[in-house]
Amino acid sequence: MPSFIFPNSTSFHTAKSFFEGHDPFIRDISALLHLDQEPDALAAVQYCVSELLRNVIEHSSSPDGAFVCAHRYTKGSPHRVTLAVADCGIGIAEYLSENYPDALGSDRIAIGLAMRPGITGARPGLYGTPENAGAGLFITRCIAKGTGGYFFISSGDAVYRLRRGLNPESQVELYADPYDETRYDIWELRSSWMGTVVSVEIRTDQIADFQGFFSWIRNHLPQRVSGESRIRFT
Ligand SMILES: Nc1ncnc2c1ncn2[C@@H]1O[C@H](COP(=O)(O)OP(=O)(O)OP(=O)(O)O)[C@@H](O)[C@H]1O
Ligand SMILES: [Mg+2]
């Protein structure tokens, strides 16, 4: 199955126009990954790519835009799409630290905060808006985990990986605090990544109703902000 990779500023401008709501790159994902027959899986992939690209545009100050790659696997089991969005920007700790000073001292703390719902480093500016809800990374993590896939994020010297759930029941137990998860690993890089990388695996054979799944997550956002750290999908 096809992969695609768009390094350089082309994808930066593409992401910018997606943010304005009319981006051919996001639409082209369907053709590039041959997902035209799987609209729910396509919607999940489009959501994750667009949120991650938006983060690069809004928060990274990357001089070189975003690097995107994705691959669809259909030969072996499980059928899945893996995707990654990387940038060489300022990293999560620096951007988040203006609102959360603790983030500056530790990339591990910074990425943990960034993954929590309701936490945003966004401030008024060219692309950051008051509408930033601190939801993108949380919902992306929910989608990956909920389909039985993995979620990976690295910024500075910290790397966080959430492995695939062991069974359908555990996949739908979602935690606001990523360090409450049971199947995560965290480690430090010897050479820091100067920027941010997020990689996601989405099990395309596990998505029957993306809109319903998405709405369910969205409906739980206020509860998570008010302190409920464990969310169970029913
Ligand atoms: N590529 C990045 N570079 C620098 N900081 C980032 C990057 N991605 C995320 N962050 C930091 O992590 C925070 C949380 O990201 P998340 O996508 O969850 O929320 P948001 O972008 O602030 O709001 P929303 O996604 O709801 O519009 C961001 O506010 C930002 O501080
Ligand atoms: Mg975001």
Check which CATH number belongs to the domain holding 31 and give it: 3.30.565
pLDDT of residue 129: 58
Region 206-214 average pLDDT: 90
Bridge partner list, 159: 154, 187
Q: Is 127 exposed, middle or buried (0-12, 13-18, 19+ CB in 10 A)?
A: middle
pLDDT at 10 over 60: no
SS3 109: helix
Place of tokens 């199947």: 183
Residue 99 tokens read as 């609102």
Pick the closest to residue 104 from 128, 121, 125 (CA basis).
121
pLDDT at 224 over 60: no
- Ligand whose nearest atom lies closest to the CA of 129: 1
pLDDT band per the 50, 70, 90 thresholds, residue 211: very high
pLDDT of residue 191: 95
pLDDT at 19 over 50: no
Place of tokens 């992401």: 15
pLDDT band per the 50, 70, 90 thresholds, residue 217: confident
pLDDT at 104 over 60: yes
What pTM does this model have? 0.86
- Name the least confident of 32-41, 82-91, 216-225: 216-225
Cis check: omega of the bond before 78, within 30 degrees of 0: yes
Cα-to-centroid distance, 21 and ligand 1 (Å): 19
pLDDT band per the 50, 70, 90 thresholds, residue 114: very high
Provide the residue range defining the domain that includes 105. Answer: 3-232
pLDDT of residue 220: 67
Bridge partner list, 154: 159, 197
Residues lining ligand 1, Cβ inside 6 A: 51, 55-56, 58-60, 87, 89, 91-92, 95-96, 114, 120-122, 132-138, 196
pLDDT of residue 77: 87
Helices H, strands E: what count in the chain? 10, 7
SS3 168: helix
Read off the pLDDT of residues 122-181 as tens digits, 9 standing for 90 and up.
876 544 455 677 889 999 999 999 999 999 999 999 999 999 999 988 888 888 999 999
Cα-to-centroid distance, 77 and ligand 1 (Å): 32
| CA atoms of 123 and 95, how far apart (whole Å) | 10
pLDDT of residue 27: 73
Cα-to-centroid distance, 122 and ligand 2 (Å): 9
Cα-to-centroid distance, 46 and ligand 1 (Å): 17
- Ligand whose nearest atom lies closest to the CA of 96: 1
pLDDT of residue 199: 98
Q: Total structural domains in the chain?
A: 1
In ligand 1, the atom with minimum distance to the C-alpha of 56 is: 1
Instruction: Choose between 142 and 223: higher pLDDT.
Output: 142
In ligand 1, the atom with minimum distance to the C-alpha of 139 is: 18
H/E run at residue 221: helix 221-225
The overall average pLDDT reported for the chain is: 82
Judge contact between 231 and 176, C-beta under 8 A: yes
Cα-to-centroid distance, 140 and ligand 2 (Å): 10
Region 36-57 average pLDDT: 93
pLDDT of residue 21: 46
